[in-house]
Every structure is written in structure tokens, then in C-alpha cells.
Structure 1
Amino acid sequence: MSAAQTPAAAITTHGLTEFYARLAEYYGPQCWWPNLDDNNPRFEILVGAVLTQHTAWANVERAIGTLLGAGPLTAETLLAHEDLAELIRRAGPHRVKAERLKGLCRWFINAGGFGGIEAMSTAKLCSDLRAIRGIGPETADVIALYAADRPRFIADAYAFRIFERLGWWQGNTRRYETLREQVEAAAPEHWRAAEYDEIHALVVRHAIALCHKRHPDCANCPLAERCAQIGVTDT
């Protein structure tokens, strides 16, 4: 039976808490975001959030390593690089991403850096980020969560895959904001950025390790007892 034929179950606080607990017990602490630059770790998150669009993280690390070899990782330095696109070539469509990075850097400077960001509400921060060309809701939320310590659920493709199989999402259209809002509405009141950080990291880890797009390893899944396995045809 496909996800489109199966009514979605409501995401409850109990269900979400158990989901988190089972993955945390199975995989242990994830301790994201991975940083290469100890001098400017928060700004590196902004850069990584753009570079990771439609490419593997290993490619992002190579690109950031090249950037670090060309100078300090700051907005001013990135804007000064005449060969920025070449420096990030390892991270996929480098010319497009270079323009997105420049737009993000200009916004960052005009916003007053992290001091200005910290004075913004979460809604304004995410709205301003999404107004930058090439920054969609997922990238904006990643920056808000990891660089600005704001509680946001990252409703990425991995989350949709797992939630569809659990029965928490149905239909062919994946609406980012709808899933994010549903999860945040069901989240325990005590959850802060640290919990959203960890659940996102656990979702990514689980999707890569076991809950594959094709041929998921359901036999070893810590969620197997609670998973409806909707849409799973080959394990």
C-alpha cells in the first residue's frame, strides 16, 4: 500500500519523544555541526549550509578546506575573492553557489553580523534569509538552528522519507513548512535548539545507515516495532 493511500497518523508528543529516544539510544550522541575552522565556526555554518545544497558533505569539507587555504573564513574575505567559484568547485554547481554565498555574505554584513542576528526574532531571521536568492526554507532553518541557536525542525528529504514510512506523513507532495510546523507543535515544551539539533542529526544518521531510499535495512532498525513500513516494498 502506498503512502498516498494510507491516512497519515498524527505526530504526538509521546510518539516524537519515543522516536527521539530510540534513535538516540541506538546511535548515541551525534554532536553536530561538524566544523573545520576553530576561528570562525559559526560563520562556517553559514557557508556550509549553502555549499551542502544538492551535494555530499565530503565535497563540502573539501571546498571549505580550499577556502581556508585561501584566507580567513569571513564574509569580507569571501566577497574579496575574485576566484570564489573556483575555490568552491568541489561542492557542485560552483558558479551558482558562489553567487548565493556572495548574497549571504552581503546580507550578513548589512545585518550587523552575529550581533545583529541575535537581536532578530526567529521569524524575522528566517524570513530575511529566505529573501536571499538561492536560500530556501531548509537552508534558512539550518542557519537559524546551527548558527543562531534557534529551535527549528529541519524537514529535509530524510525526514520525509522516515516519517512517510512511519505513517506520519502521506501524499505525494512534500510540504516543508507543514511538516516542520507539525513536528514543532508536537515537540515537548522543554525542547530547545539542542534537541532540534540532535533530532536532525539522528534523522540524517538513520536515513544513511539503515532507512535507505531503496532496500532499507528494516531487520536492524530500532524503530521497527513502531514503523508501519508504508511504501517499503523491498527490505
Structure 2
Amino acid sequence: MLRLENVTGGYINIPVLREVSFDVASGELVGLIGLNGAGKSTTINEIIGLLRPYQGRISLGGLTLEEDGANYRRQIGYIPETPSLYEELTLKEHLETVAMAYDLNVEQALLRAEKLLKVFRLQDKLDWFPVDFSKGMKQKVMIVCALMVEPGLLIVDEPFLGLDPLAIKDLTDLLLAEKAEGTAILMSTHVLDSAEKMCDRFVILHQGRVLTQGTLAELQANFGQDGASLTDIYLSLTQEDSL
């Protein structure tokens, strides 16, 4: 579904990523792992098109932004680390705006959103404005907006920040359900114990490059650390790389 091939990029005159390559298949949840500053957010910005690579190729369902930007973007649902809502729009108007941006039938999209609103206990908040929401509620709105479009690729950036324990469980269940339905999911996080429990494979980023990737069992085997946790492996790799 998603493929990055030798992507080097970043900001103007500030390279962050160096020859990053990995893929995410349909029905797979891949953890993009790294500490703050490793390049996770830059990788996501390259995928969603906020940044363009200096070199390399990013494709989604075989399409690139250059070839067909509209259809490329329609395949992506994105839950950012920091909620970003329009202060002048109600919750219902946010849902309608997202539906129109994805060229969806608004009524059908709102019907799909109803179940998600109930999961996060927002069904009676449709007339509320962002000023009325807590940070956690704003994050829930972003989750609903991303999932209601039924994306082929779901990108989740530090998904559990600001959520209460019940909402964390709800989101975890939704992500696993999306994966079971064939959605490709890329989850960026530095909360390694959560990632270890949820993800099928891991891409470990450090200082803008891929140190290694694979399942937990493959990482354990490759580095001779049978039974080691993802945290143990990550710390071992990054400490060795820093020497």
C-alpha cells in the first residue's frame, strides 16, 4: 500500500532523512519507532505531502503525489499528534468539511461517523465548538474525522497523548478493527511498550535513517537478543550507534 524508496529529505537546507526505505502493506500495522528528533514527524510530513523529498520515491497504492495528487491524498487518513480544529466550526461542520474535502457523500459520511461518535461519547456534542472541548476531546474529533473517510492508509502520530484510559482502549480497538478490515496503518510513537503489543512490524529510525526493521522476533534474532523487549533492542541499537 505505502512504499518509501531511498527517501532523503527535510526542510530547506536542513536534511533530516537519509535514504529511508520501508513499506506498509494493506492489513498491516507498522510502528515507526524513534526518540524525539529521530525523524518520525518529518517522515510523516513527506508521506502526506507537506514536505517533498530531495530524492527518492513515495508511492501509495502505486500512485505518487506528482502523478495524481488528488487520488493520492484521498487514500490517507491522518491523526496528528496535536489536534488542529477550526475554531469557527462546530463538530458537525468539521465532519461535513472533511467529507467534502474527500469528495464523499456528506450524508453517508455522517452516517459512518455516528458509530465513531458514540464510541468516543461525542454523539451529543455535534453543535459544540472547539472552544468547548478539552484537549482529549479535540483528539477524539481528529480520530473520528480520520476514520470516517475509510482510508486505505491510516497515519497515526503519537496517538495516545491526551487521551484518558478508556479512550486509549477505544482507539486501540478501532485500530485493530481497521487493520482487520485491510487498512494499512503507520503508527509513529516513542511509547515502545504500547507499540510492542500492537504492531506487526517495526521500523526503527535514528538520526534520520533506518537502523533496522522487522517483526519483534526478527529483531531479536538479528541482534542475538532472544526474549528482549522492543525497548531493550532500541536502546541497545541506538547506544551502539552513538559510540
Q: Which structure's residues are more often strand, by fraction?
A: 2
* Both structures adopt the same fold (TM-score exceeding 0.5): no
TM-score with structure 1 setting the length: 0.28
TM-score with structure 2 setting the length: 0.27
Q: Which structure's residues are more often helix, by fraction?
A: 1
